[in-house]
Amino acid sequence: MASTAKLNGGLRLWLQRIIAAIFLAGQTVVHLLKAKINRRNTLEQMAVVGPDSLGITVVTASFVGMVFTIQVAREFLDFGAGQAVGGVLALALTRELAPVITAVVIAGRLGSAFAAEIGTMKVTEQIDALYILKTDPIDYLVLPRVLACCLMLPILTVIFLIIGILGGLIVSNSLYGISQVVFLDSIQNFLEIWDLCSALIKAIVFGGLISIIGCSWGLTTTGGAKGVGQSTTTAVVTALLAIFIANFFLSWIMFHGLGSGFVG
């Protein structure tokens, strides 16, 4: 009974935080429309999200591109379709892997950091001090992080895409003898402008989700150091769930739902 009550209490708290995050997102949009932007904080957060995350993005992208090529190239060569390897890799990276994996990396790295930093400020009453100084926490803390994630995540996604393709090109050429010309021509034939646009749109949405959830969990932190740790963990888990759920609906909308081949 005690464990059931604890589980129900945790679920209730999680739902309350989800609702708080939705309200925070609305407040952030209103403040953004009023152009209440702290430029210094925004530039600092952009540096944290972008350049400071570049190394792990490049390493992850290179190995994702190489592993995907290893899994696909041999099978395609067996079916005599080796000329399509580059195009399939580019489509997979552009439509799904680049925006989703980049968002997962950023959620793990910065979603937790946002929740921990703001959560610590909350339990040490620094948020209350901002109100006393007539400084809105949304303008000072939340909006710069949201803008930084929404602006830098598309750039990191493009970098992920380029590095992933280069990794696939190296593996396909060195291990499977697929020429660079064939590989690049395949990419040009398969990839469309809309595929690139969809990746950028997904990256912007994911960036907003990561930053809003991290900040909201931080602002609703209670219980001292233990509460900060719990907020950090649940913020990352919630951000990952939000990314995967949003990715499903975005893919459904962007790529024509169930497709013309569906028979109902």
pLDDT at 4: 66
Tell me if 150 is assigned to some domain: yes
Tell me if 3 is assigned to some domain: no
| pLDDT tens-digit readout, 114-131 | 999 999 998 888 888 888
The DSSP code sequence of 121-132 is HHHTTHHHHHHH
Provide the residue range defining the domain that includes 117.
18-248
If you average pLDDT over residues 161-190, what whole number do you get?
A: 91
Please determine, for residue 6, whether its predicted confidence score (pLDDT) is greater than 90: no
pLDDT confidence tier of residue 264, bands split at 50, 70 and 90 = very low
For the chain, the domain total comes to 1
pLDDT confidence tier of residue 170, bands split at 50, 70 and 90 = very high
pLDDT at 34: 84
Please determine, for residue 7, whether its predicted confidence score (pLDDT) is greater than 80: no
pLDDT at 260: 44
Site of tokens 């380029």: 162
User: What's the N-to-C CA distance of the chain in angstroms?
Assistant: 45
If you average pLDDT over residues 83-99, what whole number do you get?
A: 92
Helix axes 98-106, 224-254, angle to 10 degrees: 170
Tell me if 261 is assigned to some domain: no
If you average pLDDT over residues 109-113, what whole number do you get?
A: 90
Tell me if 183 is assigned to some domain: yes
If you average pLDDT over residues 76-85, what whole number do you get?
A: 81
DSSP state of 223: S
pLDDT at 35: 76
Tell me if 205 is assigned to some domain: yes
DSSP state of 110: I
Tell me if 65 is assigned to some domain: yes
pLDDT at 258: 46
Tell me if 186 is assigned to some domain: yes
Q: Widest CA span of the chain, in angstroms?
A: 70
Please determine, for residue 163, whether its predicted confidence score (pLDDT) is greater than 90: yes
Positive or negative: CA dihedral 226, 246, 12, 141: positive
Positive or negative: CA dihedral 130, 133, 138, 140: negative
Do the beta carbons of residue 95 and residue 191 sit within 8 Å? Answer: no
Tell me if 2 is assigned to some domain: no
The mean of the pLDDT values for the chain is: 88
